Every structure is written in C-alpha cells, then in structure tokens.
Amino acid sequence: MGLKYLILAWVALTGHALAATVVSPNFIVTAPTQDFANKVSVAAEYWRKESSRRWVGVELPNWPAKTTITVSGIAKRTGLTRFNRVGTRLENRRVDVGGKEDEILDIIIPHEMTHLVTADYFKVPVPYWAFEGMATSTEHDEKREKLNATFLKMLRDKNAISLGELLFVTSFPTINNVPTLDGRRYYAESHSLTQYLVSLHGRKHFITFLLDATNGEWDEAFKLHYGFEDLTQMQDAWIKWVLEQENNSVE
C-alpha cells in the first residue's frame, strides 16, 4: 500500500493527518500530536506507579516488554485494555483510548492503568466486578460521585443488578458483540461494592480477599475476611452503608 493511501487511512480512522510516538520506560504512546503523546506518556507512567502503590502496596518493577497506547482523534470517550495471558504472564499489552484531552488524562488513563497493574499482579483473571471497581476508584471525584448517584438511583428504582449476577460475571457479557448488561449500571454497582469492602478493612485486605475468592467461593471468602455469614447478610450491610453515606452527605 502506498504512502498516500496509508495517510488517507489514518485520517479516516482518527481525523488527523499526522501522528507522533513517544517511548517511556513502560509505554510506547502514539497520539495525534507530539505534545499530547508526551502528556499521555507522563500520565501513564504516573498512574502505573500510583495504582501499584494503592492496590499492590509497592511499586511494580518495569515491565519486560512495553505496553502500546494508541490515542485516536475520535471525540467519543473510549478506553480499552487488551492483553494475552500466557500462564501467569501478560503479553502483547495494548491500550486504545479516545475522547477529549482532559478526559483521557483524568479519567481514561487512570482507569486503564489500574486494569494493567491489577491484571499483572493477580496472575489469574481478576473477578470482573472488582476489576472494574478498582479501576473506577482511581478516577476523579466528579466521575466517582456520578457512579455513586447512579447506584443510589438503582436502589431507589429497585433495578440493581442481582448480587449473584454481579459476582459471577467473568467478563462483560455480550451476544454478537452487543452488551447484555447496562455498562453504566454495572460500573456503578461494581464501584460501590468495591468502595464498601475497602472501607471496612482497607485495600490490602481487599486484595487478599480477592485472591482467596478467585475460585468463585464467595460465601466462604466473605465469611473468612469480612465475617458475613452469607451473601444476603453482606448485601444488607452494604446497602445500609450506601444509604448512610447518602444521609451523611446531605446533613
């Protein structure tokens, strides 16, 4: 394919005729401009370290292979992290992001870096609700407040996702690439449950709990780590906490 057609293809996909690439210790970032590629590179390295400290307790060593981050010129906010799990290793890590510059730097990069850090640390697939709940917790206050408001409305409207469905989803469910769950509701509920459990005994305890629950024995894990006799007792305590948080915020 000639250079002219490559350029036209790039313009069609991203809306930009040129792209710039920046290489950092852990990332190869391609973005529409050099300036923004630099900003994304700095943000990715920062949030890789910050997410490691928050959820793992230590800063992870540099990865043996760099992760590619591709920034599109598409205005719609998008973020997608992909990798191949080979045994306990992650290979071919890549992240695709799009949206306004502030959204990419303040929302999408923190979210996707948390995905990479937790997936790398766990060595096995992370329970999906926790995978998303940990990632949303790194986003800025306004986004987290919207998630909390969404879940509170779900409770009032009596259309929350059942706890059994939430816990046992292993990846975002689709049929013919069409989501079968409302992503906004799923993220809101996952965020709330994660924040509740972290509020009880902290992040380190939460990670230990997840490591023990990767076999899907949720009743046993909740009882061992949080003292709940069953999922019903846990859910009742969680919902009570959510409502108390709302009451405290309006006093």
Q: How far apart are CA 251 and CA 244, in angstroms?
A: 11
Averaged pLDDT, 25-31? 97
The percentage of residues in the chain with a pLDDT greater than 70, rounded to a whole number, is 86
Least confident of 45-49, 63-67, 141-145: 141-145
pLDDT of residue 177: 52
Fold for domain 3-124? Answer: Glutaredoxin (3.40.30)
pLDDT of residue 152: 93
- The Cβ of residue 213 has, within 10 Å, a number of other Cβ atoms equal to 19
- Read off the pLDDT of residues 208-249 as tens digits, 9 standing for 90 and up: 999 988 777 899 999 999 999 999 999 999 999 999 987 766
- Read off the pLDDT of residues 121-161 as tens digits, 9 standing for 90 and up: 988 888 899 999 999 998 888 889 999 999 999 999 998 98
**Better-predicted residue by pLDDT, 104 or 139:** 104
Give the pTM: 0.85
- The Cβ of residue 34 has, within 10 Å, a number of other Cβ atoms equal to 13
Average pLDDT in the chain = 86
Q: Where are the domains of the chain?
A: 3-124, 129-250
Least confident of 17-31, 82-96, 166-180, 190-204: 166-180
